[in-house]
Amino acid sequence: MSFNLVKNITEKTVAIIGLGYVGLPLAVEFAKQYRTIGFDINAKRIIELKKGEDHTLEVSSEQLKKCATRRKYFHRPSERFFSDR
């Protein structure tokens, strides 16, 4: 039974709202273990992060690229994102 609980937890998605000094490092850490979605209202910030850059210098480019496959960034909700509900 505990195996099923662990399996269910690892298949979940974590969402971080706000990718600033606190949210971005948190999103990067969660992305090491879980599929992670980061949301920020600043479109320029999202473009920067997708390029693997962080002007706050809280997370290195290497760290951003390392977990890129488990992490997605958005600056506005899209119909496709919410369509699976």
- Tell me the average confidence (pLDDT) per consecutive run of 10 residues in the chain, 85 residues long: 55 87 92 86 88 89 78 58 44
- pLDDT attached to residue 47: 87
Residue 83: C-alpha distances to residues 36, 68, 77 (Å): 17, 23, 11
Model confidence pTM above 0.85: no
Alpha-carbon distance of 46 to 3, in angstroms, equals 36
Q: What is the pLDDT of residue 32?
A: 85
The pLDDT value given to residue 22: 94
As a residue count, the chain comes to 85
> What is the predicted pLDDT for the residue at 69?
67
